[in-house]
Amino acid sequence: MAVSDICAGFRLSFPDFSLDIDTRIPARGITAIFGQSGSGKTTLLRCIAGLQQCEWGRLVVRGETWQGERIFLPTHRRPLGYVFQESSLLAHLSAEDNLQYALRRARPVPPRDLYWRVVALMGIGPLLQRYPQQLSGGERQRVAIARALLVSPQLLLMDEPLASLDAARKREILPYLERLRSEFELPILYVSHSIDEVARLADHLLVLDRGRLAASGALAEVLGRLDLPPGLGEDTGVVLEGRVVERDARWGLARVAFAGGELWLRDSGDAPGQHLRVRVLARDVSLALASHGDTSILNRLPATVAEVAPDADSALVLVRLRLEGEEGESGIVARLTRRSADHLQLVSGKKVWAQIKSAAIVK
Amino acid sequence: MGFSDTDWTAIWLTLRLASTVTVLLLLIGTPIAWWLAKSRSRWKGPVGALVAMPLVLPPSVLGFYLLLAMGPGGPIGQLTQALGLGILSFTFWGLVIASLFYSLPFVVQPIQNAIEALGERPLEVAATLRAGPWDRFFTVVVPQARPGFISAAILGFAHTVGEFGVILMIGGNIPGETRVVSVQIYDYVEMLEYDRAHWLAGAMLLFSFAVLLGLYLFRQRRSRAGIGVGA
């Protein structure tokens, strides 16, 4: 086992739900714990935090045992930060006192500049004198995230921190989460049932289904699988990591290169060299046996069929495609009618042209 | 006419008794209230009922049993004798012990309600911020459940001031030792000294009203301020 990993195994059963998971999570970057409601995401997070008693548990974080046969570190002895789904600021304390509550108890004592660094990172300087009931939902979550950072955690647990917010507030907070990831060397476990958030934030992905681990691995790899149990339906799609290589001012487009090819996308204003993440939904990918120039679709890439699998919708199939380019290879998924797949006689190994109708830059 | 010297002695004794009992009850009642609010034990029901008994029991019944318990053959009596304290019935400290039982539910229940209303979440939040159990109690439970503690103190104090039946059974009527205001009033009425009884009874009436008015105003103000986490 790598010392930089988190080994987490928990078993517990309620009358209507049981959790049985034993897995390894990389202790770096953002690992999303994804699944439908009732899949056990929050329960798993609470087990890791020591807030949930379980029948059997094992938790080793970067070589330190937090929980085992004869060991159970109580929550306040685990060096973690926790952001709850709904507002969790202590109501009798101002925003600043909430932060100080964490800072005073942080062990080891954090560097002196941590407080102002975190306040600046979360943009909450003007809010410090207010009480929780005087803050908006988004502001409260930003203070709560800052507070979790101030206990100098070795692991940050976030339980759907955006779930209680409307779309506008979510857009307000997401950039702060991205800054958090790039500025702190802190592994984050991020529970979410929103594939959009996952696609934007996560590096690794655990998929839970009814209390069991259904898939885990790097984000692109897991999203490229055709057998994900919840069946993402319209949201099925992959994420490609790329960088801007050229901007075309005349047409307002940018050329983005990724391992396996290049895409022309609507210019997001990012300078050449900028790394970004592109989401390609399976429903926006169509297949042809030959490359047609007379089509409105800008992005046509040569691809090889890797796998054909049934969709949850019996009229459709999912096709996993391998894109090979000079920089390596990537996978994308197409969602077609079963009839089209039959017509094109798609089988593993067949050479096709993938036509990508649209792709979105997610960050 | 005003209060006589014996009246003042009785008033002073009553206040001393009520203050002592209130302080002790906050110390004893808080862990009981905590346990009743948090426990999932099957003993929770019986213990809760036992604590609430003085609410429905005639004070003379409670006083009778306490008198026996504090007597030379009773468990409390044997304990106090073993500790070299002698027999406590018909003493000030006997009244204190009796009042602890008698006023217990008035202190336990407001605190228990406040702790239950708080829920688990603020405590879980504090635990994730490295606060240990005592730290959580003093920095989260006490400030957030403060209205419950204040109600408990006021009710415990006022109810002890108003005690009569239990005191008569345990303490009798010893000036400066067990003759509290309520017993003094009873004496006046027995001796047909209605004027003197009026003064003390009127004072008790005003005191009780002022205490309860204060409590209601305080609760009204608090109910507008949030507790728990967030808003």
Q: Is residue B231's pLDDT more than 80?
A: no
Please identify every stretch of chain A with a pLDDT value under 50, giving residue numbers as ranges.
Answer: 1
B230 close to A (CB below 8 A): yes
More confident residue, B66 or A234: B66
- Whether the pLDDT of residue B203 is over 50: the answer is yes
Examine residue B173 and state whether it is found in any structural domain, yes or no.
yes
B87/A25 Cα distance (integer angstroms): 67
Identify all chain B residues contacting A80, using CB atoms and an 8 Å cutoff: 128
pLDDT at B98 over 80: yes
B173 against A345, higher pLDDT: A345
Segment B148-158, tens digit of pLDDT: 999 999 999 99
B123 in any annotated domain: yes
Q: Which of B130, B139, B226 sits opposite A133 (nearest CB)?
A: B226
Number of domains in chain B: 1
Q: How far is A210 from chain B (nearest CA, A)?
A: 25
Q: Which domain holds residue B91?
A: 5-224
Q: For residue B140, list chain A residues with Cβ-Cβ distance below 8 A.
A: 90
Asked whether residue B79 is assigned to any structural domain, the reply reads yes
Residue B136's CATH number: 1.10.3720.10
* Within-domain flag for B230: no
Q: How far is A214 from chain B (nearest CA, A)?
A: 29
Residue B136 located in a structural domain? yes
- As a whole number, the mean pLDDT across chain B is 90
pLDDT at position A1: 47
Report yes or no on B229 lying in a domain.
no
| A150-168 per-position pLDDT tens digit | 999 999 999 999 988 888 8
CB distance A65 to A71 below 8 Å: yes
Write the DSSP string, chain B.
Answer: ----HHHHHHHHHHHHHHHHHHHHHHHHHHHHHHHHHH---TTHHHHHHHHHGGGTS-HHHHHHHHHHHHSTTSHHHHHHHHTT----TTSHHHHHHHHHHHHHHHHHHHHHHHHHHH-SHHHHHHHHTT--HHHHIIIIIHHHTHHHHHHHHHHHHHHHHT--HHHHHHH---TTTT--HHHHHHHHHHTT-HHHHHHHHHHHHHHHHHHHHHHHHHHHHHHHS--SB--
Tell me whether residue B231 is in a domain.
Answer: no
The reply to whether the predicted model has a pTM over 0.90 is no
Question: Which of A72, A75, A84, A99 to mutate to test binding with chain B, by most B CBs within 10 Å of its CB?
Answer: A75
Please report the number of interchain residue pairs, chain A to chain B, with beta-carbon separation below 8 angstroms.
Answer: 82
Q: What is the DSSP letter of A87?
A: -
pLDDT digits (tens, 9 = 90+) for A274-312: 888 999 999 999 998 888 778 888 898 999 999 999 888
